[in-house]
């Protein structure tokens, strides 16, 4: 089997992830932060160690500013719904996932003004167009670091700099890049970084979170939910300090333990080395696809300007049929359709048909790329 669906979730997980999850349940199975006994303390230590690993990965100074949640979608909702109010203006791009677009459309109905800045057919965003969209009411810019459809990398540092220059907050959706591309929240002028655990970070599903930078006024950023935190239990009001303000309820300790082990593995490999490996795979895949008659490749078509995600279509064959054939005949796992990103597909000209998405990860090999290219070549030769 060849797994080319890493943009959806990574597989296999790094060594030690499953073991860390089992150990958290067998050796530290108590509720973290809720009691003073040794098992509760041990569970709390697992959670804190995961925060520390993530803070190191993204260049953050304070691990307590890492807020855990279920996934990047929850993290984005926390930031968007916590910060934006009727009368505010927010800017985003035409390449966003529905994890951004759906909350923004809901907020738009509630009186938040929204500007969706167009991108090129390759999915690239021009910072000058972002700056031109800023108004006196603008409070926030939210951009995905890389498209989940075509992998296009956006210029975060210039956008973050102009956000600073205009006194705005900058929220980044790093679902496709955390763990696969070097991120430095300070160098990139990021104020809020939303991440998911189960993609390139290598952790289990049901893990993710939000890094909340120092420029964010957490007194006015409302929580998504309120409840028990194990802290200030004598009060019926939500704590005001991080991470407790945004972490009500019992944490997914086994998942977070697995995520911590995965992030430590990523740090040990080195994100630069992971990125170099994926660039080499992407370059090989692009070169082969572009040489196959009848295959259309979308996005930058440049391994340096994108993640290891490539979308294609084959003349005369529907994306769903192509993906099914690759699975049935070659055991190649990929994803067809709109990938929860209709705005991105409109931008690249593939709505409503969608594409076949081939997304690679750290464990894929050049030999697997060659097998995929051979399969797509055979399929394209059968087109009507």
How many structural domains does the chain have? 2
How confident is the model over 91-101, as a mean pLDDT?
98
CATH number for the domain harbouring residue 337: 3.90.1150.10
Last residue of a domain, one of 254, 269, 284: 269
Last residue of a domain, one of 211, 242, 269: 269
Please state the pTM of the whole predicted model: 0.97
Are 162 and 246 contained in the same domain? Answer: yes
Sheet holding 335-337, edge to edge: 295-297, 309-314, 355-359, 335-337
Are 196 and 287 contained in the same domain? Answer: no
Are 252 and 295 contained in the same domain? Answer: no
Are 207 and 227 contained in the same domain? Answer: yes
pLDDT by residue (tens digit) across 23-41? 999 999 999 989 999 999 9
Cα distance between residue 338 and residue 326, in whole Å: 18
Q: Give the percent of the chain with pLDDT over 90.
A: 99
Q: Which residues are catalytic?
A: 340
What residues make up the domain containing 261?
17-269
Are 110 and 55 contained in the same domain? Answer: yes
Q: How far is CA 158 from CA 96, 163, 187, in A?
A: 18, 9, 10
Are 113 and 231 contained in the same domain? Answer: yes
Cα distance between residue 179 and residue 270, in whole Å: 9
CATH number for the domain harbouring residue 48: 3.40.640.10
Cα distance between residue 49 and residue 82, in whole Å: 27
- pLDDT averaged over every residue in the chain: 97
Are 323 and 182 contained in the same domain? Answer: no
Measuring CA to CA, which residue among 337, 80, 41, 51 is closest to residue 209? Answer: 51
Are 65 and 208 contained in the same domain? Answer: yes
Are 257 and 340 contained in the same domain? Answer: no
- Predicted confidence (pLDDT) at residue 321 exceeds the cutoff of 70: yes
- Predicted confidence (pLDDT) at residue 372 exceeds the cutoff of 80: yes
Measuring CA to CA, which residue among 84, 123, 120 is closest to residue 100? Answer: 84
Last residue of a domain, one of 241, 269, 297: 269
- Predicted confidence (pLDDT) at residue 223 exceeds the cutoff of 80: yes
On whether the CB atoms of residues 3 and 364 are closer than 8 A, the answer is yes
Are 70 and 214 contained in the same domain? Answer: yes
Are 129 and 224 contained in the same domain? Answer: yes
Q: Give the percent of the chain with pLDDT over 70.
A: 99
- Predicted confidence (pLDDT) at residue 384 exceeds the cutoff of 90: no
- Predicted confidence (pLDDT) at residue 363 exceeds the cutoff of 90: yes
Are 174 and 76 contained in the same domain? Answer: yes
Instruction: Report the pLDDT value the prediction gives residue 69, as an integer from 0 to 100.
Output: 98
pLDDT by residue (tens digit) across 51-93? 999 999 999 999 999 999 999 999 999 999 999 999 999 999 9
What is the number of other CB atoms lying within 10 angstroms of the CB of residue 167? 10
How confident is the model over 176-189, as a mean pLDDT?
98
């Amino acid at each position: 089997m060849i797994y080319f669906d890493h943009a959806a979730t990574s597989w296999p997980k790094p060594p030690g992830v499953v073991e860390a999850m089992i150990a958290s349940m067998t050796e530290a199975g108590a509720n973290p932060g809720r009691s003073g006994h040794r098992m509760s303390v041990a569970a709390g230590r697992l959670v804190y160690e995961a925060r520390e690993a993530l803070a190191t990965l993204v260049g953050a100074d304070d691990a307590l500013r890492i807020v855990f949640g279920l996934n990047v979608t929850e993290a984005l909702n926390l930031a968007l719904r916590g910060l934006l109010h009727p009368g505010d203006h927010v800017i985003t791009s035409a390449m966003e996932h529905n994890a951004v677009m759906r909350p923004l459309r809901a907020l738009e109905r509630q009186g938040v003004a929204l500007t969706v800045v167009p991108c090129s057919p390759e999915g690239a965003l021009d910072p000058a167009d972002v700056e031109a969209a800023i108004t006196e009411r603008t409070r926030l810019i939210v951009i995905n670091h890389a498209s989940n459809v075509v992998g296009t990398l956006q210029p975060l540092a210039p956008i973050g700099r102009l956000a600073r220059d205009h006194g705005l907050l900058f929220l980044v959706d790093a679902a496709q890049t955390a763990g696969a591309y070097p991120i430095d929240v300070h160098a990139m002028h990021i104020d809020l970084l939303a991440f998911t655990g189960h993609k390139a970070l290598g952790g289990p599903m049901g893990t993710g979170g939000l890094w909340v930078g120092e420029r964010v006024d957490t007194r006015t950023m409302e929580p998504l939910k309120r409840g028990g935190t194990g802290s200030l239990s004598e009060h019926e009001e939500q704590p005001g300090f991080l991470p407790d303000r945004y972490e009500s309820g019992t944490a997914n300790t086994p998942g977070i333990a697995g995520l911590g082990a995965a992030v430590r593995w990523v740090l040990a490999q080195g994100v630069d080395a992971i990125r170099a490996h994926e660039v080499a795979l992407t370059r090989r895949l692009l070169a082969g696809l572009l040489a196959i008659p009848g295959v259309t490749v979308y996005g930058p078509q440049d391994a340096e300007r994108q993640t290891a995600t490539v979308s294609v279509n084959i003349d005369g064959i529907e994306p769903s049929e192509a993906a099914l054939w690759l699975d049935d005949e070659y055991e190649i796992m990929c994803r067809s359709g709109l990938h929860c990103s209709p705005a991105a597909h409109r931008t690249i000209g593939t709505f409503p048909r969608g594409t076949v998405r081939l997304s690679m990860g750290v464990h894929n090999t050049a030999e697997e790329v060659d097998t995929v290219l051979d399969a797509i070549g055979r399929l394209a030769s059968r087109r009507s």
